[in-house]
Amino acid sequence: MSGRAKQAGFTLIAAVFLVVVVALIAGYAVSIGSAQQADTSLSLLARRADFAAQSGLEWAIARVINTDACTANGTSFTPSGTGISSFAIVVNCASTVVTEGAASYSVYTVTVIATQGAEGREDFARRTVTAQIGGKP
């Protein structure tokens, strides 16, 4: 019986060690899951910003093609599409007259900025796209 009395505390030490190891592994798994979720959210926000900027660019190109003139600098609007309706879009346009031989025409440079949220916050996203459109000769 004296041999059993010496071994009685060993099981408790092993159990505490096992609980600590399992808790550390669980904590690590939770932190990895949180990081992956944050990465996915940021990737989705970045794609939405890209789509919002492209939508603004398509709108601006259609305006230039239909009117053969720039929109007013600083023209802004909010798109109505699902997922991008929280973005503010600002359109800037500049025209340059190009002369080739006897023909003159305008080349329009359109810059669109799509922004969501306030800079410095985790929900902030901003994309800028630029395109050049040749006017009617």
pLDDT in tens, 21-57: 888 888 887 777 776 776 677 788 889 899 999 999 9
Specify whether the CB–CB gap between 53 and 18 falls below 8 A: no
Asked whether residue 105 carries a pLDDT value surpassing 80, the answer given is: yes
Q: Which domain holds residue 78?
A: 2-134
pLDDT in tens, 59-94: 999 998 888 888 888 888 888 877 788 899 999 999
Contacts of 108 (CB under 8 A, 6+ apart): 64, 70, 93, 94, 95, 96, 132, 133, 134, 135
Specify whether the CB–CB gap between 75 and 67 falls below 8 A: no
pTM across the whole model: 0.68
**Residue length, the chain?**
137
Query: d(Cα 46, Cα 35) in Å, to the nearest integer?
Result: 16
As a whole number, the mean pLDDT across the chain is 84
Contacts of 127 (CB under 8 A, 6+ apart): 46, 49, 50, 52, 53, 113, 114
DSSP code at position 11: H
DSSP code at position 94: E
User: How many domains, in total, are found in the chain?
Assistant: 1
pLDDT in tens, 111-125: 999 999 888 888 889
Query: d(Cα 126, Cα 122) in Å, to the nearest integer?
Result: 12
